[in-house]
Amino acid sequence: MTNVTKDGLVSAVSVTTDMSKKDVEAVIDAFVDEITQQVRLGNKVTLTGFGTFRVSDRAARVGINPQTKQKINIPAMKVPKFTAGKALKEAVK
């Protein structure tokens, strides 16, 4: 198993679509920026078959500092979540 970086993704999409790497990188950057903006606004972004990006609320909780064993309060926060779609789940099986 290897780790695919953004450059690797750009190269693969460039070969598949016959687009220049510069154009593909611009499309991927715009895609990521738009998903980030929509999730930041609290919207859910669904790519049918691939998955859904959304914001989830994480409740406040008490944690423990592993070095000092002292209890610390962890505040409530919003976190991004991704749920894989059916086609992606089937492809991974």
Q: How far apart are CA 76 and CA 65, in angstroms?
A: 17
The domain containing residue 59 runs over which residues? 44-93
pLDDT of res. 10: 96
Query: Does 89 lie in the same domain as 51?
Result: yes
* DSSP assignment letter at 51: E
Alpha-carbon distance 50 to 28, whole Å?
16
What CATH number is associated with residue 69? 4.10.520.10
Statement to judge: residues 28 and 49 lie in one domain: no
Cross-strand pairs, 57 = 78
Residue 14 shares a structural domain with residue 31: yes
> Is 88 found in the same domain as 75?
yes
pLDDT digits (tens, 9 = 90+) for 4-61: 999 999 999 999 999 999 999 999 999 999 999 999 999 999 999 999 999 999 999 9
Entry pTM: 0.80
As a whole number of angstroms, the distance between CA 84 and CA 9 comes to 19
Amino acid at 55: V
